[in-house]
Structure 1
Amino acid sequence: MIIREFLTRTQNGSANHRAEAAAVLARTYLYGNLTADEAWETKTALLTILDDPSPVVRRALAETCAASARTPRPLVVALSCDVPEVARLVLARSPVLTDADLVDAAALGDETTRAVIAARHHLTHAVSGALAEIGEPHILVVLARNPTAKITAGRMLRMLERHGDDAALREALLTRADLPPEVRHAIGLAVADALSDFVTHRGWLGAERCDRLSREAGERVALEACGGAGAAAVARLVAHLRTTHQLTAGLILRAVLSGRIDFALAALADLSGQDHAGVARAMRDPRSFADLHARAGLHDALLPAMQAAVSAWQAVSRRPAANRGAGLSRQIIECAISACDDLPGPDMHPVRALLNRYEAEAARDEAREVARAIAAEALARENARRDAQAADAAWRAALDSQRRTEFAPSAGEAEIIPVAEIVATAAAAEPQNPVGAILEALPDQILAWYRTDEPEMDPETQAATDAVLDGLGESLLDHFRASQDSAAPAAEAAEPDSVVKIAA
C-alpha cells in the first residue's frame, strides 16, 4: 500500500518533489512508529528510490539516512557505491558501514573520497592501515590530523617511509598525542635527510660529512625521544633501532655520556639477552660490566670509556640538577677521555676521536645555552625598559589631561576677567586709596557680613534710656562718660586693623 501510494504521487513529479518525498519517507522509516508490515513496505519503497535517475533524489536520501544506525544496510552500501557526491555523505558518517566497506571504498574511490574516509570519527586500525598504504600525502595529512583515528606505530612508520619528505605530513604526525618514540625518531631522521640533501645539492658540505652529521642528529633525536617515555616505550624504540641496524656502539656510548642510562640499560639488555635488573647490577660492578659489555657484542676498545663514563655518571647523578636531557655532559666526557688517554694501541684512536667530537659538541651546546640565557636576559631588560617608558608616558599624558581639565576657565570666569581688569585699572588710577578701591570691588554680601554700624534704636526705647540716665547720680554719669571716652579711641584703632584684614 505504501509503495503503491508513493509511486503514484512521485511518478510524474519533478526531481525536487521526488527528493522531498524521499526524505519524508526516510524519516518516517527511521523515526516513525511503524508496524512490521509497514516497516517492510517502507524499506522496499526506499530501495526503489535507488533506481531514480536524478542524483538530487538519491542525495536527499543519503543526507537523511547517513548518520542513523537504523538505516537498512543494503541501502547504505548501495549509496556508498553511488556517484561521489552521494557516496561521500554516507562514507563520512554512516555507522552501518564496516571496515571492509570502507577499505573497499578507499581502494576504488578518488582522492576526495579517501580524504573523507580519513576524516571519519573513530577510524579503526584496519582502515587507517589501508589509507597509509595507498593514500597520497595530503590524504595522510588528514589522517594524521584526525585525533580519533587509531594508527599503529608500524603504519606511521610506513607513512614516513612512503612520504617522509613531505613537511606537512611530518608536522601533522608531531601534533598527535599518541606519537611513539620510534616514530618521533623516524621524523627526526627524515628532517636530517632533507637538510643533508639540501646542503649536498648546494655544495656546502661533502656527502660523507653530511652523512655523519645526519647520523649524529639521528642519535640525538633517538635520545630526545626517550624523554618522558616509560620503560616499555624505550624498549620498543631500542628494538626498532636494532631491527633497522641503527643501534650502534656509538649511540650507546652517547647515551651514557648524556646521562641517558635508561636507554643504555635497555640497549644492553636487548643486545645481551639479560633482564633489566641484571644489567643494572652489572653496571655497578666493573668486572660484571666487562662481561656484560662482551656479551652485548661491543668492541673491546670502548670498554674503558664505557666504564669511566658509567662511574662518572654515578658520581654526577648524586648531585642536584644533574640530568641534562639528551645533551652531552662535559664532566662525564672528560672522565672518559682521561681513562682512554693512557691506553696504547691503534684501536684507541677512533675512540679518542669520537670522544673529542663529543666534547666539542658538548662545549657548543653549553655555549648555546649561555648565549640563549644572555639573550633572554637582555630581552627581558629591554622589555622592562620599554614598559617603564610606556607607563611613564601614559602617566604624564594622564597628568596633563587632568591639569587641562581642572584649570580650564569656565564660561562664568571668562565673564569675570574683564571686571578684574577694570578694578586693576581703577586701582592704578587712584593709588592714594587702594583699600577703598578693593572695598568697592567686593560684592555687597561680603561687605554686609563685615559691616559694624550700630542699628538704629526705637524712639520709645531711646526715651526710656534717657529717663533712666537722667535719674542717675552725677558721679555715676561721670564714670560712665569716662568709660565711653576710653572705649572710643580703642574702637578707632581697631577699625583700620579690620579694614586691613578685609583687604587682605
Structure 2
Amino acid sequence: MIVKSFLKWSETAKVSDRCRATQALTQAYAQGCMSASEKQEAEAALALLLEDPSPKVRLALAEGLAQVEHAPRSILLGLAGDQIEVAGRIIALSPALADNDLIEIIAGGRPSLQRFVAFRCPVSVSVAAAMAEVGDADAVADLLDNIHVSLARISLRRIAERFGDDAEIRARLFERQDLPCDVRQALLEQLGAALAGSDFVRSAIGRSRGRKVTEEACMNATLGLAETVGQDEIPALVEHLRMAGRLTPAFLIHALCAGNVDFFASAVVSLSGMNDSRVRGILIDGRETAMRALYRAIGLGSDLAPVFVTATLIWRAASRLNATVDTGQVTTQLMQLHARDAQLQPSVAELLRLVESMHFSWHRHASRNYAHALAAEAA
C-alpha cells in the first residue's frame, strides 16, 4: 500500500479495515526494507494511527510494533501512555524502550503499568532499583517472581524496608539465596511481630505468652542464620543486630553455648571497639583476667562476666584437645559451676534460666534425632 494513499483512505475507512491496514503497515515497517523516504512516510502514518480514536486500531499498532527494535520511540512512548490493553504490550515487550523510559513509567505511579515493567525480560539493575524505591506492592511482588531481573543488594534491602510487613513479599524475599543476612534477620523480626500480634496467637496462648514465644523463636532463628552465613557477611549481621539492640547478654550466651565462636567474636569486636586480632587473641589465649576485662568492656557487669569466661574456657579447652563438645555439655557445666552464683545474684539466675531453657531445647532435639536414627535402623 502506498503510504500517501493510506493516509487519505484512513480518514473514511471502517475500524475493522483500519485495523487490517495498520497490521499491514507495521509488518512492512518491521521488515526494514523501506527506502529512507518510504520510512519517513511510514513513520508519519504510524504517528497518525497513534491518534486514531478507536482503541482497536491503537491496539493493532501496539501489537505490530511491540517487538520491533527500530520502532520510533516517540510512537512507543505514546502507546505506553495509552489505555492498559494498548500500553501493556509495549511496556512488557518493546526492546526499543530505554531504561530511562521504563524508570519514568515506574515513577508515574500507575500500578498496572509498573507490573508490566516487572514482567519484562530482562529487567536491568537500575530499573529494578527504581521499582524497589517507588513501585507498588503488587509490582514489586511480580519483580521478585521474575527470574530475569538483576536486583542489587541495596534494592533487596529497600524492598524489605518498604514491604517487610507484607506477608507475600516477605515470603518471596525469604526464598532468595542472595538476600543479605542482615535483611533476612530484620524480616525475621517483622515476622515475629506479625505472629505475636495475630488474633490466632493471642486467642490460642495469650498476648504476653505469644510475645515471649515469638521473641524466643526469632532469637533461635537469628542464631541459626548466624551459623549459616558466610564469614564475609558476619560483620554486617552483627552490626545490624547491634544497631537494633539485639546483642543482649541472653543472645550472646546463646551464641557462645551453641559454639558459634566466629559470630560471637565478631559481636565482641563490634561491642568493645577493639580490633579483631586483639579480641580473638584474648578469646583463644588470654588469661581469665583479660577475658573478664574484655567482657566488661562490652557492657557485662562483674556478675555476668564470669559466666561468659567459663563458657569461653570450656570451648577453648575442647579446641585444644580436638575434643567434641556439644551445646548440652556446655550448658550443663555452666549451670553446675555457677549454681552458687545464681543463688546470690538475681542477674546470674536469670541468665542461667535462659541457659537451662537452651539445654532443654538441645536435649529435645538430640532425643528426636536419636529416635529417628533408631527408626531408620529398624527399617
So what's the TM-score if we normalise by structure 1?
0.66
Alignment of 1:239-254 (within 5 A): 239-254=239-254
- Residue number in structure 2 paired with 1:181: 181
Task: Render the CA deviation track for 1:194-241: whole Å, top value 9, x for unaligned.
Answer: 33223663162352x443433332222222223432222111111222
Amino acid across the alignment from 1:93: L
* Structure 2: segments with no counterpart, 5+ residues: none
* Structure 1: segments with no counterpart, 5+ residues: 385-504
Amino acid across the alignment from 2:338: C
Task: Render the CA deviation track for 1:360-409: whole Å, top value 9, x for unaligned.
Answer: 3332332234235425754885xx5xxxxxxxxxxxxxxxxxxxxxxxxx
Cα offset for 1:158?
Answer: 4.6
Change (3 A) 1:88 1:322: farther
Aligned pair partner of 1:359 in 356, 360, 378: 356
Change (3 A) 1:88 1:295: same
Cα offset for 1:85?
Answer: 0.7
Alignment of 1:15-414 (within 5 A): 15-108=15-108, 110-198=110-198, 201-202=202-203, 204-207=205-208, 209-284=209-284, 285-286=286-287, 287-317=289-319, 322=324, 329-343=327-341, 348-371=345-368, 373-375=370-372, 377-378=374-375, 381=378
Amino acid across the alignment from 1:121: C
Kept in 2, the 8 Å contact 1:189–1:217? The answer is: no
Name the SS of the counterpart of 1:301 in structure 2.
coil
Alignment of 1:437-456 (within 5 A): none
Kept in 1, the 8 Å contact 2:29–2:42? The answer is: yes
Amino acid across the alignment from 1:314: R
Cα offset for 1:245?
Answer: 2.5
Give the aligned CA root-mean-square deviation in angstroms: 3.1
Cα offset for 1:258?
Answer: 0.8
CA distance in 2, matches of 1:268, 1:36: 71
CA distance in 1, matches of 2:64, 2:244: 50
CA distance in 2, matches of 1:344, 1:380: 43
Task: Render the CA deviation track for 1:250-306: whole Å, top value 9, x for unaligned.
Answer: 222221111111211221222233333332212111344334333333434332122
Kept in 1, the 8 Å contact 2:341–2:349? The answer is: no
Amino acid across the alignment from 2:62: A
CA distance in 2, matches of 1:113, 1:54: 21
Name the SS of the counterpart of 2:233 in structure 1.
helix
Kept in 1, the 8 Å contact 2:331–2:358? The answer is: no
Kept in 1, the 8 Å contact 2:103–2:127? The answer is: yes
Aligned residue-pair number: 376
Cα offset for 1:25?
Answer: 2.5
Asked which structure has the greater CA Rg, the reply is 1
Name the SS of the counterpart of 1:231 in structure 2.
coil
Kept in 1, the 8 Å contact 2:269–2:276? The answer is: yes
Kept in 1, the 8 Å contact 2:328–2:363? The answer is: no
Task: Render the CA deviation track for 1:419-451: whole Å, top value 9, x for unaligned.
Answer: xxxxxxxxxxxxxxxxxxxxxxxxxxxxxxxxx
CA distance in 1, matches of 2:323, 2:44: 73
Change (3 A) 1:103 1:319: farther
Range with bigger deviation, 275-284 or 312-321? 312-321
Kept in 1, the 8 Å contact 2:341–2:348? The answer is: no
Change (3 A) 1:353 1:87: same
CA distance in 2, matches of 1:341, 1:130: 57
Task: Render the CA deviation track for 1:91-132: whole Å, top value 9, x for unaligned.
Answer: 112233344433432344543333222232333444434444
Name the SS of the counterpart of 1:70 in structure 2.
coil
Task: Render the CA deviation track for 1:120-166: whole Å, top value 9, x for unaligned.
Answer: 23334444344445555443332222233334445445544544444
Change (3 A) 1:19 1:259: same
Change (3 A) 1:38 1:322: farther
Change (3 A) 1:14 1:318: farther
CA distance in 2, matches of 1:252, 1:30: 65
Cα offset for 1:314?
Answer: 2.6
So what's the TM-score if we normalise by structure 2?
0.85
Name the SS of the counterpart of 1:82 in structure 2.
coil
Amino acid across the alignment from 1:358: V
Percent of matched pairs sharing the same residue: 29
CA distance in 2, matches of 1:321, 1:315: 8
Cα offset for 1:89?
Answer: 0.9
Kept in 1, the 8 Å contact 2:170–2:187? The answer is: yes
CA distance in 2, matches of 1:260, 1:26: 64
Cα offset for 1:345?
Answer: 9.0
Change (3 A) 1:315 1:63: farther
Cα offset for 1:78?
Answer: 1.0
Name the SS of the counterpart of 1:274 in structure 2.
coil
CA distance in 1, matches of 2:328, 2:32: 76
CA distance in 2, matches of 1:68, 1:291: 70
Name the SS of the counterpart of 2:190 in structure 1.
helix
Cα offset for 1:35?
Answer: 3.3
